[in-house]
A and B are shown apart, each in its own frame.
Chain A
Amino acid sequence: MIHPRRTPKPILFAALLLAALALAGCSGNVLTGVSWPGLASQGTTVYVAFNSHLHAIDATNGREQWRFPTEVDRKLTMFAPPAISEDGATLYLGAYDNHVYALDATRGTVVWDAEVATDRIIGSPVVYGDLLLVPSSDDFLYALNRTSGALAWQVETTGELWAPPAVEGDIAYQAILRHELLALDLKTQQPVWQVNLGGAMAGPPALTEDLLIIGNFVNGMRAVAKDSGQDRWGYRDDGWIWSSPMVSEGQVVFGDDQGWLTALNEADGRETWRTQLEGGITASPLAIDGQVFAVTRGGHAYARSLADGSPVWQQTFEGELNSTPILVDGKLMVASMSGDTLLRALDPANGQVIWSFVPQK
Chain B
Amino acid sequence: MWDTLILNPMINALLWIYALLSQNFGLAIIMFTVVIRLVTIPLTLQQQRSQQKMSEMQNSKRWQEIQKKYKDDKQKLQEEQLKLYREVGFNPMSGCLPTVVQLPIIFGLYGAITRALASTPGQLLGLSIHLYPQTPDALIPLNSQFLWMDLAKPERLYLPFLPGTIGIPVLTILVVITTYMQSKLTTPASPNAQGGQMSQMMTLYMPLLLGYFSFTFPAGLALYFVTSNLLAIVQYAATGKVNWRDMFKFSLAAPKK
Are A4 and B138 interface neighbours, CB within 8 A? Answer: no
B122 within 8 A of A: yes
Assuming the A-B contacts A7-B198, A20-B209, are A33 and B119 also in contact, with contact meaning beta carbons closer than 8 angstroms in the complex? yes
Q: Mark A106-127, 1 if CB is under 8 A from B, else 0.
A: 0000000000000010100000
- CB of A218 within 8 A of CB of B137, answer yes
Contact of B114 (CB < 8 Å), options: A1, A31, A240: A31
SS of B interface (majority):
helix
Question: Contact flags (1/0) for B173-204 with A, using CB distance below 8 Å?
Answer: 00000000000000000101011001001100
Verify if B58 is at the interface (C-beta below 8 Å from A).
Answer: yes
Q: Is A35 an interface residue (CB 8 A)?
A: yes
Interface: A14 (CB within 8 A): no
CB atoms of B194 and A4 under 8 A apart: yes
Other than the given A2-B93, A23-B110, A322-B125, 15 more pairs (CB < 8 A) read A1-B92, A2-B95, A4-B54, A4-B198, A5-B195, A6-B74, A12-B202, A16-B205, A20-B213, A26-B110, A26-B114, A28-B126, A33-B119, A34-B122, A202-B121
B40 in the interface, Cβ–Cβ < 8 Å?
no
Which residues in B have their C-beta under 8 angstroms from that of A96? 120
Q: Can you spell out 25 A-B residue pairs with CB atoms less than 8 angstroms apart?
A: A2-B96, A4-B54, A5-B67, A5-B192, A12-B201, A12-B202, A16-B206, A20-B209, A22-B107, A27-B217, A30-B117, A30-B118, A33-B123, A36-B122, A160-B141, A178-B141, A199-B140, A200-B140, A202-B121, A202-B124, A217-B138, A240-B137, A257-B125, A257-B128, A322-B125
Shortest Cβ-Cβ A-B pairs, 5 listed = A34-B122, A2-B92, A33-B120, A35-B121, A4-B195
Q: Which residue in chain A gives the minimum CB-CB distance to B117?
A: A30
Q: Tell whether A3 is near chain B: CB-to-CB under 8 Å.
A: yes
Asked if A29 and B202 sit within 8 Å, CB to CB, the answer is: no
B114 contacts across to A, CB distance below 8 A: 26-27, 30-31
* Closest residue on chain A to residue B107 by CB atoms: A26
User: Residue A288 at the B interface, CB < 8 A?
Assistant: no
8 Å CB contacts to B: which residues of A198-225? 198-200, 202, 217-218
A282 within 8 A of B: yes
Chain A interface (Cβ < 8 Å from any Cβ of B): 1-7, 9, 12, 16, 19-20, 22-23, 26-31, 33-36, 79, 96, 120, 122, 137, 159-160, 162, 177-179, 198-200, 202, 217-218, 240, 242, 257, 282, 322
In the complex, what distance in Å separates the CA atom of A137 from the CA atom of B74? 62
Contact present for B194 and A1 (CB under 8 Å): no
Contact of A16 among B58, B122, B209 (CB under 8 A): B209
CB nearest neighbor in A for B131 = A240
Docked-complex contact B126 and A30, CB < 8 angstroms: yes
Q: Are A1 and B206 in contact (CB under 8 A)?
A: no
Closest chain B CB from A7 CB (angstroms): 5
Separation in Å of the A257 CB from the closest CB of chain B? 6
CB-CB under 8 A for A29 and B126, given A2-B96, A23-B213, A34-B120: yes
Given known pairs A27-B114, A29-B126, the reply for A1 and B121 (CB within 8 Å) is no
B12-61 interface with A by 8 A CB criterion: 54, 58
Residue B218 interfacial (CB < 8 Å): yes
CB distance from B139 to the nearest CB of A (A): 9
Bound-state Cα–Cα, A180 to B79, Å: 71
Which residues between 91 and 137 of chain B lie within 8 Å of chain A, taking CB atoms? Answer: 92-93, 95-96, 107, 110-111, 114-115, 117-126, 128, 137
Separation of A257 and B125 alpha carbons in the complex (Å):
9
Whether the Cβ atoms of A218 and B138 lie closer than 8 Å is: yes
Q: Give the CA-CA distance A10 to B28 in the complex, in Å.
A: 38
Q: Using Cβ atoms and an 8 Å threshold, which residues of chain A touch B217?
A: 27, 31
> With A and B bound together, what is the CA distance between A242 and B125 in angstroms?
9
CB-CB under 8 A from B235, the residues of chain A are: none
Task: Say if the beta carbon of B82 comes within 8 Å of chain A.
Answer: yes
